[in-house]
A and B are shown apart, each in its own frame.
Chain A
């Protein structure tokens, strides 16, 4: 996937291991790339009852639009009776989750 000039391109990798689905995100998540995350997640297929691990180790930047895309992803999994966890959050992203109170809903692994 290509990003805007100057930005790190945004990409998603998915690995499935039985009931566990690992979603690796790379690049910058903002209003420009957020639709790609939503698209990518809609192509994830069956998530009911799965444990979805979102790995944010490759994500260098997130703003509120990126946060919104992550949150709606997590919410979709929860609503399908799946479990979610967040992995490898940068301190800056963790801070964003805490400031907005979202860490209460989606604790980091």
Chain B
């Protein structure tokens, strides 16, 4: 319905007229308040000023009446939900629009529908809240010079968004990386709450300059004052990027692993008494140097208890970390968790975190060969050829085995892609490579346009039920940088991968090997 500035009905639609028992056109010109809004539901007279429409006419704003009432021509009351908004034309205010909906018994069905919508909406909103909270308990991966990081966590109960295993990593004002892994007794969101309290207490203590020796004890004192039932094992690390120095304070947590590029594995225990136990605190500060290309694995016991035999679990994990020394740090935690849980009944929260110190920058240029360039016509048959030529060049550069194999796949993916995208003109695809410092730069250019301007930069693993489309994901997992430039002349995909190179002397001078 619409009303003019005096509150007279200027228009009423079919539904309104029918509901209120009038005939079409009869309402026109009648006073809204006198005709339809004159009384409260109990029959007592209602003042004009109590009417939402009148409020809109006076103040211009939208007014609502959730439990309002309109009166039928036959004297019956119709409970309605009502909303009034100003109606304006070019010359200014014209009146108000009054819309309403019957909420009496006949309107219940719509009500239930509305309720279902509201519940669905509430469910969606709650899910969103849980997702946001989940993000809040999974701190963003910090950027630390010379280090690659990775983390993966899995709650014991798949229906729970998080469990009692929690991690923290943050760069401190002095540039050191603060690392925490905590495993709270208990499961589900209640345990997450306790784990968060510990993580935050540790952050505050570290920022305040609490010495590492006292961290676990101080955290215990702070937390037990509030919750005497809290029990948690933990390991706190402080990593100095410039030197690779890693100091650790532990509280009853399983040993961490230090893995060399060659797969040699060392167990490092940071002994202490868990938070919540009498005399909680670390016994000593473990002080070690993470060598170049070495990997540190921190984890919670879900990773070694999946088969209910901790000793076997530890030795399985030890074997697994040795075998996966050359895996990308970003994906390594997930892969270790998947290995540990393969065929096991999952019963505990599981968390794994990886820190890998990158290979050293090359001390001096030691390139036997110049940059690599191979131009070929866009045919799939030409890709193996390009790959083999590139493999020979990498061998000449002294690229070590694992990096060599990874880069061969990267080159194959990019070349196959370029063949698909190229215009078809002869020699339309170019594979280039050069060694720059401690990195290998790989470039594939094609003369096609479009498509690749927006690469999906997802870290998510591709859906398992899809057959292909893994190429880009694989490339991303194996290189350190990836970018795509599309110009009118074609597309260039450029990757950078930090590599291990064999010692130059050993490559160029075999006699040196005999001497050393």
The answer for the CA separation of A102 and B477 in the assembled complex, in Å, is 15
Interface string of A61-74 (1 = CB under 8 A from B): 11111011001100
Query: From residue 11 to 63 of chain A, which have CB atoms closer than 8 A to chain B?
Result: 28, 30-33, 61-63
Residue A99 is within 8 A (CB to CB) of chain B in the complex: yes
Check if A28 sits within 8 Å of B384, measured CB to CB: yes
Q: Which of B382-420 contact A (CB under 8 A)?
A: 382-385, 387-389, 405, 408-409, 412-413, 416, 419
Give bound CA distance, A103 to B412, whole Å: 22
Flag if A64 contacts B413 (CB, 8 Å).
yes
Indicate if the CB atoms of A5 and B473 lie closer than 8 Å: no
User: Within the complex, what minimum Cβ distance (angstroms) separates A58 from chain B?
Assistant: 16
Give chain B residues whose Cβ lies under 8 Å from the Cβ of A6.
384-385, 388-389
Given contacts A98-B338, A103-B338, A104-B338, contact A65 B416 (CB under 8 A): yes
Check if B380 sits within 8 Å of A99, measured CB to CB: no
Chain A, residue nearest B388 (CB): A6
Bin chain A's interface residue count: 20 to 34
B413 touches A99 (CB 8 A): no
Contact present for A30 and B384 (CB under 8 Å): yes
CA of A72 to CA of B464, assembled, Å? 11
A64 and B471 contact, Cβ closer than 8 Å, known pairs A91-B323, A98-B327, A98-B335: yes
Number of A-B residue pairs having CB atoms within 8 Å of each other in the complex: 98
A75–B464 Cα distance when bound, in Å, is: 11
- The residue among A65, A75, A105 with the most chain B CB atoms within 10 A of its own CB is A65
Query: Which residue of B384, B408, B412, B467 contacts A4 across the interface (Cβ within 8 Å)?
Result: B384
Is A68 within 8 A of B380, CB to CB? Answer: no
Contact A99 B338 (CB under 8 A): no
Q: Report B-chain residues with C-beta under 8 Å of the C-beta of A63.
A: 409, 412-413, 416, 471, 474
| CB of A66 to closest CB in B, whole Å | 9
Tell whether, in the assembled complex, residue B464 and residue A95 are in contact, meaning their CB atoms are under 8 Å apart.
Answer: no
Q: Is the CB of B338 within 8 A of A101?
A: yes
B344–chain A nearest beta-carbon distance, Å: 13
The verdict on A99 contacting B331 (CB below 8 Å), with A28-B384, A31-B383, A68-B468 known, is yes
Residue picked from B328, B384, B385, B412, most chain A C-beta under 10 Å: B384
Contact residues in B for A67 (Cβ distance below 8 Å): 470
Q: In the complex, A11 Cα to B45 Cα: how many Å?
A: 94
Q: Which residues of A contact B311 (CB under 8 A)?
A: none
Query: How long is the Cα–Cα vector from A95 to B334 in the complex, in angstroms?
Result: 12
Nearest A-chain residue to B408, judged by Cβ: A61
Contacts of B383 in A (CB 8 A): 4, 30-32
A88 interfacial by beta-carbon distance below 8 Å: no
Q: How large is the interface on B (under 10, 10 to 19, 20 to 34, 35 or more residues)?
A: 35 or more
Do A64 and B470 have beta carbons less than 8 Å apart? yes
Min CB distance B27 to A, Å, is: 66
Contact B467 A68 (CB under 8 A): yes
Decide if B109 is an interface residue (CB 8 Å cutoff): no
Q: Which A residues lie within 8 Å of B327 (CB)?
A: 95, 98-99
The answer for the CA separation of A31 and B382 in the assembled complex, in Å, is 11
Residues of chain B within 8 A of A28, CB atoms compared: 384
Question: Does A86 lie at the interface of the complex (its beta carbon under 8 Å from any beta carbon of B)?
Answer: no
CB within 8 Å of A: which B321-359 residues: 323-324, 326-328, 331, 334-335, 338-339, 342
Asked if B381 lies at the interface with its beta carbon under 8 angstroms from chain A, I say yes
Among A28, A31, A68, which residue has the most Cβ atoms of chain B within 10 A?
A: A31
Residues in A neighbouring B419, C-beta threshold 8 A: 31
B388 touches A30 (CB 8 A): no
In the complex, whether B105 has a CB less than 8 A from a CB of chain A is no
A residues less than 8 Å from B387 (CB atoms): 7, 30, 61
Task: Give the residues in chain A near B468, CB-CB below 8 Å.
Answer: 64-65, 68
| B window 269-323: CB within 8 A of A | 323
User: Beyond A99-B327, A99-B331, is A104–B464 a contact (Cβ under 8 Å)?
Assistant: yes
Kindly report which residue of chain B lies nearest to residue A90, judged by CB atoms: B405
With A and B bound together, what is the CA distance between A30 and B339 in angstroms? 27
Within the assembled complex, what's the spacing in Å between the Cα atoms of A61 and B405? 9
Cβ-based interface call for A92 (8 A): yes
Chain A residue numbers with a CB within 8 Å of B409 are 61-64, 96
Known: A6-B389, A99-B477. 20 other contacts (CB 8 A): A4-B385, A6-B385, A6-B388, A7-B385, A7-B387, A28-B384, A30-B387, A31-B416, A33-B384, A61-B387, A63-B413, A64-B469, A65-B468, A67-B470, A68-B467, A68-B468, A68-B470, A75-B467, A101-B464, A103-B338
A-B contact pairs, 20 of them (CB 8 A): A4-B381, A4-B383, A4-B385, A7-B384, A31-B380, A31-B383, A62-B409, A63-B412, A63-B413, A63-B416, A64-B471, A68-B467, A95-B326, A98-B324, A100-B462, A101-B462, A102-B464, A103-B338, A103-B342, A104-B464
